[in-house]
Amino acid sequence: MLTVRIDEQDPTLLSVTFPEDPIGNDLIRAVPGRRWSYSRRCWLVPNTREAVVQIGHLFGKAYCRFDEAVVRLYKPEATHADVERATSPAPVSSNQQPGRNAFRYAPPLTEFDRHPAVVALSESLRRQKYSFKTLKNYKQALIALIRYTDPKPLDSLTKPDYQKYLLFLVEKRKFSSATVNVHLNAWKYFSEKILLREKEFYKFDYPRQAEKLPTVYSVDEVKTLFKATTSLKYRTLFQVVYATGLRLDEVAHLRLTDVDRSRNLITVRGGKGKKDRQVMLSAKLLACLEGYIANYQPREYLFENPETQRKGTPEPIANRTIQLVYSEAVYNAGIQKRGGIHTLRHSFATHLLEAGTDIRYIQQLLGHSSILTTMRYTHVTADKISKIKSPLDNL
């Protein structure tokens, strides 16, 4: 993917960056006035409409990411959807066949959707207002159980039978402890709420889980990530996550009314576990939000789907869209650490802890029910560890 933005040192030039590629180098040499900058480590071309159009023709628009300032300079009438397509083009797959969707878009197994047990489970979860994610996970777990026990009906399943099924999930399917726990909770809900059985305890020795530390960016890496994000909309969204520690779904569903400018607070409504909480709204973040709102003019949600916004029926931006743009921004920033947008939340907590913020305040800001969940960030505070004196220094 090729990135085009206005050069920071000379606004009469455009900086063009792309991964090391001899074909790309040959193509860009066709642009008049181009030159390689050893100090900036990028190609520089004249900041003209002709150069922008020629780059689009040479490399193909699907492979070009234009900074929002470039788009608005040469196409001032561009809609928000146009800007989003130019700043965050969809990833191009070389092996994708026309008219063929990926497996994740395959139609559901309709024969199981109509199964009485699945219908009863879905209706019960909806009545009790469980989240869509819980409904989806429990439904998939019950379908897997039906396929395993077929043709034996679920209401004839005994406790030893299910213990044997759990062993199958671990030994044959190689499921993790977390996934096995979802299957177990789905069955317990079905047996207790639908079959009206007594509560049962399932003794099961889970496989030992690896204790992995969360991935955390340095302050310089966070700055590089923001700089590599060419879209004002997504750069602002990433800044909100880093400034407040919000989860992906929480930032996607933020409403304009949740931003309290007078009290310098942002209210998170219906977070994980359907719990509301409040996080701080810094002066710097407020300035970023005001600049973004002035440009995009969202109606209801802070970050809206551009297609629904144009039709007058605003909906929150899709989580998957945020994830795809984030992955592209990390790649273009040259960050080697693995992790999704949740890494910004980890970085928020770790940087607060390194700055001396009380861990109980961090627990409240993150929305953790247990302080033990927040305490894992004490293991990744690099500045504390780096200041410990090694015994080698005493030799």
DSSP 8-state secondary structure symbol assigned to residue 194: I
DSSP 212-267: PPPP---HHHHHHHHHH---HHHHHHHHHHHHH---HHHHHT-BGGGEETTTTEEE
Evaluate whether 305 touches 315 at the Cβ level (below 8 Å): yes
Among the options 65, 345, 346, 351, which is catalytic?
Answer: 345
- Residue 112's Cβ-count burial label (10 Å; 0-12, 13-18, 19+) is middle
One of 255, 272, 277, 376 is an active-site residue; which one?
Answer: 272
Q: Is 368 a catalytic residue?
A: yes
CB 286 within 8 A of CB 301: no
Q: Are 191 and 200 in contact (CB under 8 A)?
A: yes
User: In a 3-state reduction of DSSP, which class is residue 101?
Assistant: coil
Catalytic residue, chosen from 188, 227, 368, 376, is: 368
| 247 a catalytic residue | yes
Of 377, 384, 387, 389, the active-site residue reads 377
Which entry of 342, 346, 376, 379 is annotated as an active-site residue? Answer: 342
From the list 247, 253, 346, 351, the catalytic residue is 247
DSSP 282-333: -HHHHHHHHHHHHHH--SSBSSB-HHHHHHT---BPPHHHHHHHHHHHHHHH
Q: Which two tokens stand for residue 237?
A: 């969204």
Give catalytic status of residue 129 as yes or no: no
Catalytic residues: 247, 272, 342, 345, 368, 377
